Structures are given as C-alpha cells and as structure tokens.
Chains A and B, each alone.
Chain A
Amino acid sequence: MSSKSARVSARPVAFCLHALGASSVEFAHLRDALAGEIEVVAIDLPGFGDTAWVDGASVEETVEFVIRRIRAHGAARWMLVGHSMGGKIASIIAARTLSGRAPLFGLAGVVLLAASPVTPEPMAEDRRELMIGWASESHSASDGHLSDESAREFVDANIAEPLAETDMASAVSGVRRTDPLAWRAWLERGSREDWSSEVGNLAVPALIVSGAQDGDLGDPAQRRLNGATYLAAKFVTIEHAAHLLPIERPQEVAAAILTFWRDHAGTSPGVPPSTGRVIASERTSERTRGILSRRVLADDPGYQPLVLSSQQLATLRDIAERLVPQGDDAIDLAARVDQQLGRGGGDGWRNAALPADVDAYRLGLDALVGFGVDTPERQGEMIAQLIDGSFVAEGSTLNSKQLQFWFEDARVDLARQWMAHPATFSRVKYDGFGNGGDGVRKQGFTLLEAGRREAWEPSGGGTE
C-alpha cells in the first residue's frame, strides 16, 4: 500500500439528522459555517424533505434508512449530529455502530442538538394532542399536509427570538413538506418508544448542546436524559436560543462542534478508508467490528486515571512517548494501560519477584518520577539501564532486577495497546480481523502464498 492511499482524509463527515417537521435544509447554515473543516451531509429522513415515506417512518425504519445512507456514502471517519427527533435516531445508530451490528465503521463522535433522548421524550400530553391534531383532516391543508398556520405556530413555539425572514420561510416550508403520516409516526409512536435497553451506555465522545430557552429538552433534561446514555459527554448551552438550534444559532453550534472535534473526537489516529471498509464489510464479524469500533474512539483528553495517580499517569505518558513513539494524533497508551490495570486485566501471570501488577506500576513509576523533565539523552540512558537490569532507583523499594521485570511488562503493555489499534493494523499490513463474518460459512483466506493479496483486502488484489 502506498503512503498516499493510506492517508486519511483530513475532513471528517458530519451526518446531520434533522428535527420533526424539518429537513436537511435546516443544516444549510451549519454546512456553510463548517465548510473546509467538516463535511456536512444532511439527510432527509423518510417522510421529510425530499425523502418520500415509502417503507415507513418508524424509529426502526428511519435508523436503518440512515445506516444505509451512511454506508453508501463510505465516509471513513464521521460524526452523527442529531437535532431533536434526529438525536434519538443518532443515538440508536451510534449504539448499533459501536456494538458492530450496523455494517459501519469510523464513528468518532456524536453531537446532540436539543435532542430527544432514547427514552420517551418529555412532552405535555395536551401539546402532543394539539400537534397530532394539526395533521388531522379537519386542520390540514387541501394537500393533506399541515397548514401554513399550524406550521407557523409550530416554528414560533420553538424559537427564542424572531428568525430572519428567509429562515422563517424555510422552517415553515419544512413543516409544510412533512408527510403527515411521518409527523404522526413520531408524535404517536417514535417519541414514546423506549430504546434505552438496546442503546445502553455509550463511550463515544459526545457533545450535548441545548438552547438556554428550550422547554422540555433544555439543559437540565439533557443532563438527566441524554447524560444517562453518554458516558463521555460535554454539555454546552447556547444563549438566545430555544429548540431550533441549527437555524437559530448556526455559528455558535458550528463553533462548539469544531472545538469538540479538535479537542476530543478527532484526536485519535485515523484509520485508512480501505481498512475501515473491510471492518464494515460482511467479512468482519459483528463482535469484532464492535470491538474495533470502540477501540478507535478518541481517548478522553481529561482522562482521570483509575488506579494510577495523576503524577504516575503523567510519568507513564512520558515513558510511553519514548518507548512507543507516535506522530500527531497519538493514542493515549498510558491511559489505556491504566484502564487495563483498573479492569484487573493482567496477562495471566507475573514475575514472582514483583508485587501485584498495579503495585508494581505504582512503585516503578514513583521510582521514575521526573522522567519527563530529564534530557532525551538521560532518558535514553535510563531506559537502557531499566532494560538491562542495571538501573538503581534511590529510595525505591524495587531493586534493579524488579525494575527490569516491571519495565519489561510496561514495554509489552504499551506496545500491545499500540499494536491493537486499527490504525496500526493498517501500518503493519494486518487484516486478519476480516477473516470471516457471521454467515453460515466463514470466508477465511484463499491466497496464502508470500506476496499475494486478495481483492477484498484493504490494499486490493495483487502481488507485493
């Protein structure tokens, strides 16, 4: 594989899922504001905008519709942006991606805008009845859709300040274009469905945005409802906005998304599209796809160690940088080792001369405190001595031999965390994760000779 084809497209894709009574058009300003940084792909959900309601507009059908659209797009690295109703859809897609059930790979973050939770959406019953009533024969326009008057009332109820004339017209048009059956499908069923047990907790980096003047889906509700789903969420509230965030405050929303991408979601090493394509394909089992989908998620920049102290974690990061050097967008190997230690995930044994794994790490790192401020030359000397068993740490309870054994474990642990990342798989030309899917018959490998590649492989068929 040439380095050119291995390069990951710098611009991630944001698949944007709109609110009830809206369409892809509601993300027009956001698209402009993010242009050059993030490619916005806004999707008309079934029964909205230009997408006819053919197969139904239930939550399940909408989720599968969007999954097909994302798959067809082929993005290598992407976010889901869900506004209101679209937020619930986004959360379910995120869950199916991270579990490996969806034939997708490359989800890096979720952005929720005044989003409906995966649990039943809090909504006053009289308001629900009123809105359902707008789609009834007695209230609807001659074409069966919501009347202009109902549409205006709906938009007005969801904004904090008057919109620009064109935006208002566009928002009203979105409501007017909505298939009344899709309108009712959400109000009568979709918004009431409880998907929390399928979705569970999601570790994907998440940005949860609310409008300061929103009602049922404002910041307190977001923290209580969507906060229960997303374990690594950052909450942002936008002033002078109610519920129609991408229309009301597109610049502020765009700025929040960009910060989120640069500081968190987009900080992991990118996986080449060709590798992601195989992981997403039917050659890779759901379980394996889920494992790899979760593993590529960016590490939390504010990671709080589970078993190490902050100082020990910092020392381990400094050591990791020398032992397993990475470029930009590095994996936080030290944090991942801390997590491994915290989960009790040893390797089944330890050298009898060492205390338990966690204790050995703590003592070893304490013995190396200040490693990060030493000169690179001194660091190199220390590492060489740690490896050959001659390093003496004054005041440490670990002797040179014990430090040597511990340091060998640390080298293995850090390198394994690096080696296990799909971005590294691509570097070392490993694609065995695609050795068989979930069909009755597993695919395996057909060409086993040196230098031969099969057509399905990330680097394509041929000889090398």
Chain B
Amino acid sequence: MNLSGMRVFDHADEVDVIVVGSGAGGAPLTASLASAGLRVVVLEAGPNVEPGDHTPDETEAVDIIWMDERLSGGETPTAFGPNNSGRGVGGSTLHWGAFTPRPDARDMSFRRETGQGVDWPISPSELMPYVARVEQYLGVSGPSNYPWDPDRRYALPPVARNASSEMMMRGCEALGIRATDAPAAVISQDWQQEGFGLRQACVNCGACHQGCRNGAKVSMDTSYLPVALSRGAEIRADSTVHTIETDKSGAVTAVIYRRGGVDHRQRCAMLVLSAGGIETPRLLLHNALANSTGQVGRNFMAHGGVQVWGRFDQLMRSYRGYPSSIISEDMVRPPDAAFVGGYLMQSLGAMPLTFATTLIRGSSLWGPELTEALEQYPYMAGLGINAECLPSDSNRLTLSDEVDELGVPKAHIRFTAGENEKAIEAHAVTTMTNIVSAAGGSDILVLPRSAHTLGTCRLGETADVGVVDADGRSFDIPNLWICDTSVFPSSLTANPGLTMMALSLRTADAILSTTW
C-alpha cells in the first residue's frame, strides 16, 4: 500500500498503542483507534507491497505467507504455511479466501445448546451490529435472498459462478439441499472504498489465495489500513517483534523488534497483539507473560476442512473464477447428526500446486498413477467444508527446543481431531460424495485437511478458562490486549475472517471506553 505522507513516530516517543500484526485482527482496530485520536504504531513482520505486485504463481506467491517453520504434531497434524497464516502489510487477508458467512448465533452459544464446548462470553446480538458494519464498509457481495436468513441484505450482487459452482448447485438441487451464491468480501462491481479509493470489480482471475491484484477482494491494505494511515497511524513493515518489556507492576512499557537486522525499542502505553493464533501465544510464552493460569497456548482449534472431489467429463478448470462462490448452511445443524455442531459447505477452486499437495498428502499415489491423477486436474471439481472443532485441553501450542533466526523458540502445535470432529467429517464426506455424484462426478477423491488457527489465547469469563476477558483484555496485564483468532473460544462453523474484523471493531470500542 501507499505509505507516502505517513506520520512517523520516534522510537523515543511513548506511543499510545502498538499493534503487532496488520491483518483482520489488527487493522480494523487500528483504524478505529487512530480515528479516535490515539497515536498508534502497527508493527508488521512482513513487507509492504502493492496489489499489482502479486503473482498467481503459487511457488512465488508464498511471499505473502508466513513461511517460518512451525512444528506440527498430534495424531492429525495440521498444515501451516499457505494453509493459514499470512505475512505482509495486510496479514492473512492478503491470501484469504474472502468467504464471509456470518457467525451463527447457535455456534456462539454452543455449550448452552449442546452441553459441550464453550460459549462465547459475548452475546450474538452484541456482535452482529459490528458484523453488519464491516459488511457495509467493505462491500460484501451476496445473494438477494439468503435462504438461512431471509432478512439479510448484501451491498452487491454475487460474484460470478464457475464450473465448480454449477456442479455444486446441480448436485445440491438433486438432493434437496439448499445452496446459493456465497457471501464474499469480493466486490462484483467497482466500489469506492472510503479512505482508499477505487477498488475494481472482480475479473474472475481465480487467484484470491495468491493475492488480489486489482483490489476486488477485501484485504486490509486496500481498506482499513489506508484509513488508519490517513488518521495518523504509522504502519512499520518488515518489523518482527520478539520481546515485550514490562515494568515492576507488570505493565507493558515497550516492545523490541528486529528490522533490517537491527533491534529497535518502541515505547508504548498499551500493546495489542494481533499476530494470529500461533504467533501471539508464541510471543507470550517466549516472554513468559499473561500466563498466570497457564492458559496461553491451550485449546488450539483448526476447522475440519475435508474436501471431496469428483472427475467430470468436461473440462472444469476450477482455477477460473472466484474459488468458493457457492455456500450451503444446511449442515450447520444436520437433523441426522451423531455429533454436536455442524459444518458449512462450499464449492472449491484449486490451483495446480495446491491440488497436487492436497492430493499427495491425502493419498498414497506415486509413479504413473500419480502423474495420471495430476493430469486429471482440469477435469476435477470439488466441495469442501468448514467444520466445528471442539476445544480440547490436549490440543495445545508449546515452545519447542529449536529457535528461529531471532532466537525465539519455534512453536510446536499438537492437534488431534476428537470423536466429534471425526463424526462430522464422516457425515460431511457422505453428504459431499452424494452431491458430487449427483452432479455427475465419478472417481471420487476424499482429501482430509484442516484449516485456520484458533484458540490458544481465548476469551473467557475468568482467568481460569481464558487468557483475555470478554473484551480481549489480558487478565494479568491491564494494558495488554489480544485481537486475533487466538481469542476465539469456540471455532464457529463460519470461516473466521468476517467475525475477526467485527471483533476487531468491538475490541477497539472496548479499548476506547477503558480508562487507562
């Protein structure tokens, strides 16, 4: 993004707020705080680039991905890298899928409904106005009639359907499953973005996950961050925070970050960690902060994301068009469930290397059978899910014995899908296999995977169950706040992006209403 004319703070200045991370957690909040007159510095580990600099080439597009190594363990290790965390001004919104279902009220009151999992310490009715604000500000595209919420209205008509979309619609219709155009933070028409300027309408280039080159897809560098900058916030790229300093009372006084091989100290009155579900708890554990009850790193969750692909007679070439343009919420609470919670379904587009990786990790193919399967790529179309994942004390992030270049121990994440997750996956595989088959697909391929980094610093009513309170404020350190997906107490079936941005605006309001 264009950083010219940006206000620059001195290292000797004590700024009001430092925000670590510039993604969906850090950016909306920064815009709000700066608009309220606070002096805010955002420290982003990755570089600053222009949208037009992105490339659809998957090998090179990892420059917008957090590629520092993490150790993944447990019985169902989750994949990191391009599968979740981002890097660069804009954070994970540079590569996110922009699939924006709203959080389901039932999912936020999960324990009250099911007796399992946990409830959010925030009522859905309190969060929903923030969700609507985000949608209106960013321009979300969606259907005129949303079957699961008939009163809902989207600012823009849906983005174009592709071959996978038509397949999913066909299959769902044959089975009596409701499906429609997905809510997407991708503008289907040119949109004047307040604080930024023109975002061009989506041209169906298909490379959302490699970085949107014309501003059609929402990312923080073409929305909230330019607003924040225009209101006086500073965005410091290539700056990796590794140390948090506190005074005798335990309050945060400064952070130390590495930029260009040199350590810098920036003083602050308040710190907001928005570094994501892995880097935030890693930073806290490394600095032994905010962890008096041992909650940091616990209850790591990853959404179930199993995919079912089928082979079709026609060329599907699902790399064309918005990758997830169809949604079904019919399975958020399936009537025949042998589990609690449920899942969302979406149509899938996949780039060739992503397809190859998922295929290999999910199968035992090698040799001519592998290359033949890869050559079927253009004929394949599929569906995927985003499934509830119950929090579990044994799914946990800890620090490993290995350190990175900055001397910070690498994160070690143990994740084992529980019985409920397995039951959801089995249900989803059956449902999606039926849909793909009904749509005419053959040679069904089931590719298990999980996605997103949730939990690890969750919101809680008390310090015994959470790291931060319902507002996102640390129980231990009054001038430390956390605002990223690590605070999610339950996973929700909705993909986290929209909820995250809403939560970010809410956290900003909480900060502004606090005496400090």
Contact = CB atoms under 8 A, between A and B. Distances in A.
A325 B368 contact: yes
Contacts of A384: 364
Contacts of A444: 202-206
Contact of A464 (B52, B59, B65, B314): B314
Contacts of B53: 287
A419 B364 CA distance: 18
A32 to B, nearest CB: 41
A34 B364 CA distance: 48
Interface stretch (B112-120, B315-323, B329-337, B472-480): B315-323
Given A288-B56, A420-B58, A352 B357 contact: no
B279 to A, nearest CB: 12
B207 interface: yes
A288 B360 contact: no
A442 B201 CA distance: 10
B231 interface: no
A73 interface: no
B374 A352 contact: no
B366 to A, nearest CB: 5
Nearest to A434: B56
Contacts of B357: 412, 415-416
B197 interface: no
Interface residues of A, number: 58
A288 B211 CA distance: 13
Contact of A430 (B85, B364, B377, B412): B377
A322 interface: yes
Interface in B74-100: 77, 79-83, 85
Nearest to B312: A450
A383 B207 CA distance: 34
Nearest to B202: A444
A428 interface: yes
Contact of A322 (B62, B80, B366): B366
Contact of B352 (A295, A323, A428, A446): A428
A415 B374 contact: yes
A324 interface: yes
Given A419-B353, A450-B315, A450-B316, A427 B206 contact: no
Interface in A426-464: 427-430, 432-433, 435-436, 438, 441-451, 453, 464
B203 A450 contact: no
A445 B371 contact: no
A268 interface: no
Give the bracket for the number of chain B residues in contact with chain A. Answer: 35 or more
B511 to A, nearest CB: 31
Contacts of A427: 375
Contacts of B163: 448-451
B73 A416 contact: no
A292 interface: yes
Interface in B406-464: 412-414
Contacts of A325: 367-368, 371
B79 to A, nearest CB: 6
A348 B80 contact: yes
B166 interface: yes
A352 B399 CA distance: 12
Contacts of A292: 57
Q: Which of A325, A347, A444, A453 counts the most chain B CB atoms within 10 A?
A: A444
A445 B71 contact: no
A436 B205 contact: yes
Interface in A383-412: 383-384, 387-388, 408, 411-412
B366 A348 contact: no
A348 B213 contact: no
Contact of A348 (B82, B162, B205, B370): B82
Contact of B320 (A295, A352, A411, A432): A432
Contact of B366 (A287, A323, A345, A453): A323
Given A349-B81, A352-B71, A445 B320 contact: yes
A7 interface: no
A442 B166 CA distance: 25
Interface in B165-196: 166-167
A356 interface: yes
B161 interface: yes
Contacts of A442: 200, 203, 205, 213-214
Contacts of A9: none
Contacts of A419: 352-353, 356, 374
A449 B166 contact: yes
B203 A443 contact: yes
Interface of B: 52-53, 55-60, 62, 65-73, 77, 79-83, 85, 160-163, 166-167, 200, 202-207, 213-214, 312, 314-317, 319-321, 351-353, 356-357, 360-361, 364, 366-368, 370-371, 374-375, 377-378, 381, 400, 402, 412-414
Q: Would you list the 8 A-B pairs with minimal beta carbon distance, nearest first?
A: A348-B81, A444-B203, A352-B73, A349-B80, A435-B205, A451-B314, A448-B162, A352-B71
Given A432-B351, A444-B203, 16 more contacts: A285-B55, A288-B56, A291-B60, A348-B67, A348-B69, A349-B80, A350-B72, A351-B73, A352-B73, A380-B367, A419-B356, A429-B315, A429-B317, A429-B377, A432-B207, A435-B203
7 contacts: A285-B55, A288-B55, A322-B367, A445-B203, A445-B321, A450-B314, A464-B315
